[in-house]
Amino acid sequence: MESSFKFEILHTSKKSGARVGRIHTPHGIIDTPNFVAVGTNATLKALDSKIAQDMGLQLMFCNTYHLMLQPGTKTIAQAGGLHKFINRSAPIITDSGGFQVFSLAYGTVKDELKSKGKKKQNNSVLKIDEEGVLFRSYRDGQKILLTPETSVQAQKELGADIIIPFDELPPYHIDKKDLKKSLDRTHCWEKRSLDEHLKNPNNQAMYAVVHGGIDKDLREHSANYLSSLPFDGYAIGGSLGKNHTQMFEMLSYTVPLLPKDKPNHLLGIGDLASFEECIKLGIDTFDSSHPTRCARHGLLFTNNGMVRILNAINKTSFEAIDTHCECFTCKHYTRAYLHHLFKAKEMTGYSLATIHNLHFMVQLFATYRKLILEDKL
């Protein structure tokens, strides 16, 4: 069977590397550039799949690590796959679980930057070697072996439209020799993941994950090596630097090395300050839990900046979060009511705020696409 995955570029900006495209998947189209909402546990936080899909979120990111532990990928396979399980007919992407197990072992890059490189100890990772990672489920103590092969098998059971090979997440504080060693292992694991995937493509696409930290040579090496393999798209992962400047610099030499005719994805970046620059460098999709996490903290996005809903000024602000916004929340509720719901710690507030921020993301990326089509970005 020919894969129904296809990427077409509709327009490349005359002003930058920004491009407007369309990713075709078995569950429909993803217009690019686009934002990918994160639903770690097979749901967005405080929002059900139906509402999320009706809002126009074209791609949803679910985490294989979490779903392996609860409810288990076999259960989801029994349900007929992730789409059926969560009742989403639009595209889904899953990751490999690598990020989470290495975060268990080393702490996240963010933790690490905060703690200045002091490693977090965690007893749940029992062994890391060339085969993969053996860890203990925090839910039931069961030992789980995550390898390129088992990760891909798990992602086959989930059945997402786009899947990701198993990689190693090296610590940020690592010398070049060790980073090179980690990169070699990651390349080996990605090749094994791809091989496993191609045994049974299952109408899924697989994106490589380009590593190399903020080392130009290693990023080039990674981009070149992975581009030589028949991946369907290219995600940029690993350490993206400790600030925007480092990240933009890294992207400026990495993105041009990726196959132009394939979609690319920037893993885990979703702060508003990053999008425009990244899109200009040619990034197609971004996933992040940032907008939904902000929502639950009462930080609401608008074109005139962030509204902190718990600020006292909103107690008697009887207008929408954004009077021009067409979202369900802005159409029906005022800042004053949301302020009250957050003060009273009512879940309703978290849902309404989440709807608003995600609607903002959908609109924001529609605007980016429009600007690119008009050569204004």
Query: Quick check: 137 binds its own copies (CB under 8 A)?
Result: no
Q: Is 70 in the site for its own copies (CB under 8 A)?
A: yes
- Asked whether position 318 contacts its own copies by CB under 8 A, the answer is yes
Contacts of 224 (CB under 8 A, 6+ apart): 257
User: Which is catalytic among the residues 31, 215, 232, 287?
Assistant: 287
Region near its own copies per CB under 8 A, out of 75-83, 124-132, 182-190, 208-216: 75-83
- Interface region with its own copies, contact rule CB under 8 A, candidates 83-91, 146-154, 184-192, 305-313: 83-91
- CB 98 to its own copies: min, Å: 21
In the complex with its own copies, which residue's Cβ is closer, 115 or 311? 311
Closer Cβ to its own copies, 27 or 221, answer by number: 27
**d(C-alpha 280, C-alpha 367), whole Å:** 14
Mask: binding to its own copies, 333-362, rule CB under 8 A, as x and -? xx-xx-xxx-xx-xxxxxxx----------
Q: How far apart are CA 190 and CA 214, in angstroms?
A: 20
Q: Is 287 a catalytic residue?
A: yes
CA 46 centroid distance within chain:
18
Q: Which is nearer to its own copies, 147 or 354 (CB)?
A: 354
Q: Is residue 173 part of the contact set for its own copies (CB under 8 A)?
A: no
Q: For residues 149 and 131, what is the distance between their CA atoms, to the nearest angstrom?
A: 9
Instruction: Kindly state the smallest distance separating residue 60's Cβ from its own copies, in Å.
Output: 13
Q: Closer CB to its own copies, residue 251 or residue 338?
A: 338
- Between 47 and 218, CB nearer to its own copies: 47
Active site residue 129: no
**Tokens 């940029």 sit on residue:** 236
Is residue 235 within 8 Å of residue 266, measured between CB atoms? yes
d(CA 118, CA 132) in angstroms, rounded, equals 24
Number of residues located near its own copies, criterion CB under 8 A: 41
Measure the N-to-C terminal CA separation of the chain; round to a whole number of Å: 39
Q: Rounded to the nearest whole angstrom, what is the least distance from the CB of residue 313 to its own copies in the complex?
A: 13
From the list 86, 208, 94, 98, the residue with the least C-alpha distance to 162 is: 94
Helix (H) or strand (E) holding 9: strand 6-12
Largest pairwise CA distance in the chain: 61
Angle at 345 between CA 342 and CA 349, to 5 degrees: 50
Instruction: Give the side-chain half-sphere CA count within 13 A for 341.
Output: 20
Q: Pick from 4, 75, 243, 311: which binds its own copies (CB under 8 A)?
A: 75
Which residues sit opposite 22 in a β-bridge? 8, 31
Q: How many helices (H) and strands (E) does the chain have?
A: 15, 16
With respect to its own copies, which residue has the nearer C-beta, 271 or 319?
319
Rounded to an integer, what distance in angstroms lies between the CA atom of residue 53 and that of residue 87? 10
- The reply on whether position 6 binds its own copies by CB under 8 A is no
Binding mask 18-57 for its own copies (x = CB under 8 A): -----------------------xxxxxxxxxx-------
Residues acting as catalytic residues: 95, 287
Which residues contact its own copies (rule: CB under 8 A)?
41-50, 66, 70-71, 75, 78-80, 85-87, 315-316, 318, 328, 332-334, 336-337, 339-341, 343-344, 346-352
